[in-house]
Each structure stands twice: as C-alpha cells, then as structure tokens.
Amino acid sequence: MTTRFEACPACAEARKNVNLAAAADCRSCKGTGMRRTRESWVCNGCGECLCPKGEDDTPYGLVDAKVSGAYGSTHLSDMMNYKFSLCEGCLRKLFDGFKIKPHVSEYYLGTFKDIDIDSKETYEEEAAARIAMDVEAAKSKAEFFSLNDQKRCVDHNRDPASGTGQSLREHCGAEGYGILLHEDSSWPYAKRWLCERHMHNAFAHTDATIEITGHVPLTGPERCRIGLELLAEFRAKRHPAIDTIERKHIAISTLLPLLMSSNDTLYAASELDRLTRQAVPHARNWIGHRIPLAFAPSANDLARMANDWLTWGDEQGYDEAVATAKLGYPPESLWDKRG
C-alpha cells in the first residue's frame, strides 16, 4: 500500500531547531509538518503519477476534483460525491475528443490562474503548436544523448541572429574537453560533456563537479575555496602562481568582475593579460549599460579597458563571471557556496 503522507523535508531543519516561525511559514506543507508523498498523487485515468518525472513533487493536471450527483442527475447518483484526478496526458486526450473544444487563454506569472487573458488562439492552433514543440523537444533530447555518448559537447550555442544574442540554438557538437556532473541530481541531463569553450562557464557552477579528461575531478566547494583564495591574493595586488588549468579558469572568472572596481581595473587587466597572453581587442559597443556608469567621467579609459576585457570574456564563454560584472555584483558572489 502506498504511503500517503511523509514528514515535510522543506521545513525539517526549522522544526529540528525549534524555529517554529519558519516551520509555520513553510510553503511546501503550509505549516503542518507533513505533506503528501509523490507516490500518492495518482491519475484515476491511466494510473500513473501526477508529478512530472524528475525531482518535482508537485502534482499537475486536474488534482482532487469533485463532482456531485443530484435529484435530477441522469448519470451520477443523487447525494453522491465523486472525487478524482486526471494527469495532463489524460486531460489532453479528453480535450482532443471534445466535440466543442476548450477555450484557451493565457495567464501571467504572478497572477491568479483564473484571470484570463485572451490569446486569440483556438484550441486546435494551441494543440498543433504543442505537438510541434514536443517533436522539437524530443529531437533535441535525442541529439543530446547521441552527442553525449560520442563524448561531444552538448551545450547550446547562442544564436547570433536573435535580437539579444541570448537565444539558444543547436547543440555545440565540438570535441568533448571534460564532464560537468551534478552528482546529487536525478535530472536526465545531470552528466554532460562540454568542449573547452563551454567548460569555461562551468567553473562557476558551484553545485557540480568538473572532470576534465586527464585531470583530478574538482568539486564545487573546492572551486569556491580556490576562488576565494585567489581573490584574496588579487585584492592584495599580488601575482599568485597559476599552476593548473583549473586554477587558471577560476582566476579568470574571478578577475572579470574585479575589473568593475576603478581601484582594481588596471591590476585586473594586467593579470588577465598575464594569464591569457591575450592582446584584447577594443570593443565597439558597451557590453552592459552599467559599465560606463560605474566609472567617473574622468576614468573613461578605465571603463573602456573593463569593457574590452568583459567583451572578450563574453566571447570566450565566461558567462557567469561577465554577468556578475555587468550586474555590479562583487567577485565573492561567484564563490559564496562552499557546500
């Protein structure tokens, strides 16, 4: 028999530490200290779990619906309630079989789902778009696992044709340089091969282990420790020895946001030059609107120098480090998760 309830893991620590206020505010169990188990959410139509595959324990579809029979009922019994749940798959089959299709509308995040926003789209159009999206998703998933099996990079390239340059397109497919591994996750994509360029950003993924071919695996907490050690050296304007490829990439990620400090820009640029042996080209455009604003008008040359290096970092794939700089966050924020 399926166990119906379990102690709520979301507020377990708060209850253990007698932090009753935090436990009472738990959004997962609404302060009760227990919640339904994943296995207890079952579709009456197909018998499968209502929760999507993966780590999401939230039931989706029509959950615990109830209809009642009355004196004039023709198919349901008078004074009887019928409680049931239907998963999204069974709901879609019902919708497709309706003679009169459901009306579709939109809702925005942050609003209640019963606030309808006209989508000007028929059910048939929405259903066709969903099928096309599912086909594309299945194709992308198959490509991911095929490339991963061949030890080729499965990260996505940014589409230069998009307005922002941030839209994603096909998998990279370049020769694999190493593995990014989320060890505590059941996510199907938790283990992925990356090329050298796409591995640059992985160094700032502090919840995963990096396994570069021929090197000792490096966990997130270990990268955080190295990053904070290097940052202390950089803040003291020293020139730490970078004796491994891993330390080099961690150092570069740390130096990129350090460029945004007018007191450190020249030093950070010189260290980047030392580590990369790169004559960074002059960028024609500002990579972020905060960059010129972070420097006084008299320090425009420093702002340009920071922008040149951040543009280079963006092109080299150090996305997290460049985003940290563009948002004005300190370098410490890259390495503040030490497990």
Count CA atoms within 13 Å of residue 186 on its CB side. Answer: 6
pLDDT value for 183: 84
Per-residue pLDDT at 50 exceeds 90: yes
Domain that holds residue 21: 5-91
190 lies in the same domain as 326: yes
Per-residue pLDDT at 42 exceeds 60: yes
pLDDT in tens, 180-210: 999 877 788 899 999 999 999 999 988 899 9
Query: Per-residue confidence at 112, pLDDT binned at 50, 70, 90?
Result: low
**Average pLDDT, stretch 71-86?**
97
Q: Which two tokens stand for residue 237?
A: 């304007």
72 lies in the same domain as 162: no
Are the CB atoms for 254 and 334 separated by under 8 Å?
yes
Query: Per-residue confidence at 110, pLDDT binned at 50, 70, 90?
Result: low
User: From CA 228, how far away is CA 234, in angstroms rounded?
Assistant: 10
74 lies in the same domain as 174: no
Where do we find the tokens 């998933």?
141
**227: in domain:** yes
Per-residue pLDDT at 55 exceeds 80: no
Burial bucket for residue 58 (CB in 10 Å: 0-12, 13-18, 19+): exposed
85 lies in the same domain as 161: no
168 lies in the same domain as 246: yes
**31: in domain:** yes
pLDDT in tens, 254-299: 999 999 999 999 999 999 999 999 888 899 999 989 899 999 999 9
**20: in domain:** yes
Of the listed ranges 44-58, 92-106, 203-217, 291-305, the one predicted with least confidence: 44-58
Boundary residue ending a domain (91, 123, 141)? 91
pLDDT value for 164: 47
164 lies in the same domain as 286: yes
**273: in domain:** yes
**Average pLDDT, stretch 220-226?**
94
**102: in domain:** no
164 lies in the same domain as 84: no
β-strands 156-158, 168-171 pairing = antiparallel
User: From CA 37, how far away is CA 51, in angstroms rounded?
Assistant: 10
Query: Per-residue confidence at 236, pLDDT binned at 50, 70, 90?
Result: very high
Q: Helix H segments across 111-244?
A: 123-149, 196-202, 220-235
Boundary residue ending a domain (61, 91, 121)? 91
Q: Is 183 helix (H, G, I), strand (E, B) or coil?
A: coil
73 lies in the same domain as 193: no
DSSP code per residue over 162-217 = SSSS--EEEE--PBP-EEEE-TT---TTSEEEE-HHHHHHHTT-TTSEEEETTS--
80 lies in the same domain as 167: no
pLDDT in tens, 151-171: 999 998 765 444 444 455 688
Are the CB atoms for 230 and 241 separated by under 8 Å?
no
- What does the mean pLDDT of the chain come to? 90
Percent of the chain having pLDDT more than 70?
93
Where do we find the tokens 């798959």?
89
Boundary residue ending a domain (74, 91, 108)? 91
Q: Which two tokens stand for residue 65?
A: 């619906």
Percent of the chain having pLDDT more than 90?
70
User: From CA 58, how far away is CA 51, in angstroms rounded?
Assistant: 6
69 lies in the same domain as 183: no
pLDDT value for 62: 96
284 lies in the same domain as 207: yes
Q: Which two tokens stand for residue 251?
A: 């150092």
pLDDT value for 119: 81
User: From CA 257, how far away is CA 208, in angstroms rounded?
Assistant: 22
Query: Per-residue confidence at 124, pLDDT binned at 50, 70, 90?
Result: very high
The torsion angles phi and psi of 171, rounded to 5 degrees, stand at -60, 150
Domain count, the chain: 2
User: From CA 209, how far away is CA 180, in angstroms rounded?
Assistant: 6
DSSP code per residue over 254-294 = HHHHHTTSTTTHHHHHHHHHHHH---PPPPSS-S-THHHHT
**284: in domain:** yes
80 lies in the same domain as 162: no
End-to-end CA distance of the chain: 37
> Which residues are paired to 67 by β-bridges?
82
**108: in domain:** no
Q: What is the pTM of this model?
A: 0.73
**118: in domain:** no
